[in-house]
Amino acid sequence: MINHLIKPSSGSIFLNGENTTKMNKVQLRRSIGYVIQNIGLFPHLTIAENITIVPRLLKWPKSERRQRTDELLRMGNLDPAIYRDRYPAELSGGQQQRIGVLRALAAEPDLILMDEPFGALDPITRDQLQDELKELQTKVQKTIIFVTHDMDEALKLADRIVLMRSGKIVQVASPEEMLRNPANDFVREFIGPKRLLPKPETTPISTIMIPQPKTIKESLTLKQALNIMQSTTADVLAAVDSRGRAKGIVTAADLAKRNSSRGSVKPKTVPLVSSSSSVKEAAEYLANGERIILIVDDNNKPVGLVTRSLLIQKLVSVFWSPNSAETETSLDAS
């Protein structure tokens, strides 16, 4: 309804004080950035061409389009020299979705619509892109309308949450306010009583980890690893030996820096933490500078992943809890 793909049955929508029904539909749509769930990059266009789709329609000079492409790629922590002239099929799913976000920013719109943009990605890649979006928003300061069915994602990303049911607004509030004062039983049930973390020293790490990480054999070549990342949409893989035992992790960013497709994947060593360990024990590894830890079973086989941002998100949620007075002491003590 905002961009007039669907006509409102009643009421009016205003954008920057102007009634959208009186605006030129083409100009309206080109003034809005879009990020969709299934990425939607054009496979026959390079990354640079994908990013500058709208600027090209707006007849930006070629030099300005190239400058904007490089600026956005650097903003997205992607080296322009490496990624500018690649095609979508050469990128992992997470990297493609990064390009989707950058494309939405290309023409510097005031408004960006995001329709479950990370819903099709694996959990660890989704977690990383959520972090990157929060950091990016501090730089670009755009109005983003973000549709999601994931309450954790809403609590993590939103400045203001609009919770809807059957087409009607149930509550509008900041994440903290919604957690402290849910409007009714529907909101309470939607948030979920078990979403907030109990005592970290007694909570098994298995309760908050991202389960069943995608794996890759450490003996595979770089090219094989890239093919797996492209087919699974994962930006992080757990590397294992021939017996399935954890040897470390392989990330899309590390593979992109390699100059040759030959040789083994060379996994990065990370702490291996038992699935029976507590959240507190895992936090000690992440507090010492690690960004990712692998959770393993008794046979040293990977069963989960935990990122620093995921752990912080869970810990912070305790302080947001309406019952935070009961849990604050345990966190302070640990």
- Quote the pLDDT of residue 282: 82
Residue appearing with tokens 């912080």: 312
- Quote the pLDDT of residue 330: 33
In tens, the pLDDT along 144-191 reads 999 998 888 898 899 999 999 998 999 999 887 887 788 898 988 888
- Quote the pLDDT of residue 198: 53
Q: Which residue from 324, 313, 321, 319 is spatially nearest to 156, judged by alpha carbons?
A: 313
- Quote the pLDDT of residue 167: 86
Q: Which residues contact 333 (CB under 8 A, 6 or more apart)?
A: none
Q: Which residue from 67, 93, 96, 63 is spatially nearest to 80, judged by alpha carbons?
A: 67
- Quote the pLDDT of residue 331: 33
Strand 18-19 versus strand 14-15 pairing type: antiparallel
- Quote the pLDDT of residue 260: 60
Spell out the alpha helix ranges (H) of the chain.
Answer: 25-30, 47-51, 53-57, 62-75, 80-83, 93-105, 123-140, 151-157, 175-180, 185-191, 222-232, 252-256, 279-287, 308-320, 324-333
- Quote the pLDDT of residue 333: 31
Q: Say yes or no: domain 205-313 is CATH 3.10.580.10.
A: yes
Q: Which residue from 99, 150, 105 is spatially nearest to 123, judged by alpha carbons?
A: 150
Q: pLDDT below 50 — which residues of the chain?
A: 196-197, 319-334
Alpha-carbon span 28 to 191, nearest angstrom: 35
Radius of gyration for the alpha carbons in the chain, expressed in angstroms and rounded: 22
Tokens of 271: 């702490």
Alpha-carbon span 236 to 121, nearest angstrom: 12
Residue 125 CB coordination number (10 Å): 26
- Please report, for the chain, the start and end positions of each structural domain, with discontinuous segments joined by +: 31-158, 205-313
What is the dotted CATH code of the domain comprising 31-158? 3.40.50.300
